[in-house]
Amino acid sequence: MLKKSIGIALLCIAGQSYSADIIVTTTEDIEKDDKECSLREAVEYVNRGLAKSGFMGCGGENSSSTIILKEKNTYVLNQHIAIKKSLTIRAVAESDGEFSTDEKALGLHNAHIQMKGTDNLFRINSTDTLVQLNLKELDLEGCGKTSCAEQGGLIYNKGQLILEYNRLFNAAANLGGAIYNAGKFGQNLTSRAQIKNSLIENNKAQRGGILYSELPAFLIYQSVLKNNQTLDNSATNIYSAGQFADSSKDQGISGEVLSSTILKNKGVFINVLDGMGLNNLTIVDNENTALNIHAPYGRAYVANSIILRNGTQDCQIITGDKSVSQNNLLTASCGVGDAVAPNQFWNGTRLFAESSDKSEGICQTLQENNNAILCPYSVPKGQFLGYMRPRILLNYILVSESPIVNRGTGLSLANPTVACEAADQRGINRLMDNLFCDRGAVEITIPISGSLVGEDLLKGEIAKFSIESYLGDSDLIPKEQCNAIVGQNPTGEPWQDGCLKVVQTKTASKGKTIIDIHGNVVYTPDSTWHGADIFELQVVTSSTRFNKSKPYLTITTQIVQEPKNEMEDKAIKTSGGSWGGGGLLILLGLIGLRRGLKD
């Protein structure tokens, strides 16, 4: 249980931005009239209309419909909670009795809601009005059994469901392993599920291992869907059971999966019907077919995606299908696509730069593997969602040889094409010029410079640090390739990885720098000098090498050495301006360098 005093103190903080919200003060699933407020009691308080007098320890005068949970705490439920009024449940950091407003990596500090019984977690029950449930920064864990509920292993949605920065896992149902999305109800109302920046994994159902939707009314955006399973061979992991009555008319797109990564699911991934759109997806290494496509009225599209190594065939196109397929990287089972923006067939033999060609793991260097077009799925340190980074291979003389990078289409009213999504899975904005967008969920970033790196040392110490995070989505050039790319080393020494050049800027050289292919740097002072060594590390990457006039990426470096016991801390001292801790400058939106990659 959370400390009761913490919750009460939080309610009394003057001017606190969360003071009107409902603070859950216990992690247990209780219903009794005391001073504790459980999650169940907090929801029931909203359902009852937010009375000024509060309800069973929850709320009071001027309470909002937002329910606050403490990050990284586990809240158990013995049975589902009914949602009858619109509300929000979210996690917030708490420290010393006060909520933190510090920025954090969203998704890494979630509160955890776990089903201990055999049931789903939430059931949204709209009647004549649309009830909306917002869930943010929560880990939603199912019952972990063969079946948690008949419809929706985690959530039954008869209303508006919005998920952001959530993890949905370990749930099972007959229909909708994670979510069941009901169709029309009331006065022409339609249930809709929106899933953004979320991870859906390890869920199972007979139909709709991820989502069962009575109608194609959903949005899945900038998310990762992995290791889910649909058992019925006639269904799919994202399954739309029916269509809107006007699907043959000028119906808009109502069911979308965009800028997301899909891997290692069992069962067909999705059935594509009229009213559905798939764009900028990376769908790879699923056990069965990726797409079952049947849109006889031509009101569906699949575009700008990577669809490879899924079962025995990547697509199953049903007779009579008239969907639009444009500018995808795939295999022949998915068809040649629209003549305006045809698909490209991949004929390579190695998809993932992993030692065993697995879809998850550590990405090999260009020295170890110069054939695979994707890094395996991995989650970078300090981030919630992983992704598969496209690779720019050394044998590409022109960037147009890449089947992924700069593979967008021209936009024309006369010959309309599906534009790339404005941002990739990571939220990185694409260029305005659609010609330069990349296929798949990830838009590679191109670094132009990095801000301050280095270390403060005591005399006798050696500096060890990494520049990997400053390389964007690029690899260092192996030292064996440097002569061919930039010529002989002007120092007369053999090249190091990255074709490293150390350029002194404000001081004479006071040490030796060594770098490896992974971007790990070791700096050894040449004596016990007192002061600073300030220089630039200049390296060539797989993307900057195409800029013939300026192939080097410049990273400002500062090493400070002091006598022992004279330093207050080990951190680099920055004072703003050009020495600020800004990080990598990414050129996306500045068309200059991006166009420097074109032929």
For residue 102, the model assigns a pLDDT of: 59
* Fold entry, domain 447-596: Immunoglobulin-like (2.60.40)
Report the side by side order of strands in the sheet with 520-525. 463-466, 520-525, 511-515
Q: How many CB atoms lie within 10 A of CB 143?
A: 23
For residue 95, the model assigns a pLDDT of: 56
For residue 45, the model assigns a pLDDT of: 97
Q: Which residues pair with 75 in a beta bridge?
A: 113
pLDDT in tens, 500-552: 999 999 999 999 999 999 999 999 999 999 999 999 999 999 999 999 999 99
CB 210 within 8 A of CB 181: no
pTM (two decimals): 0.90
For residue 414, the model assigns a pLDDT of: 85
Distance CA 465, CA 99 (A): 34
- Per-residue exposure over 268-288, b if at least 16 CB sit within 10 Å of its own CB, e if not: bbbbbbbbbbbbbbbbbbbeb
For residue 67, the model assigns a pLDDT of: 98
CB 535 within 8 A of CB 543: no
Give the residues of the chain that fall short of pLDDT 70: 1-19, 94-103, 247-251, 565-599
As a three-state string, the secondary structure of 90-144 is: EEECEECCEECCCCCCCCCCCEEEEECCCCCCEEEECCCCCCEEEEECEEEECCC
Q: How many CB atoms lie within 10 A of CB 508?
A: 8
CB 482 within 8 A of CB 540: yes
For residue 446, the model assigns a pLDDT of: 84
Place of tokens 């194609």: 216
Domain ranges within the chain, ordered by starting residue:
1-103, 120-242, 279-444, 447-596
For residue 382, the model assigns a pLDDT of: 93
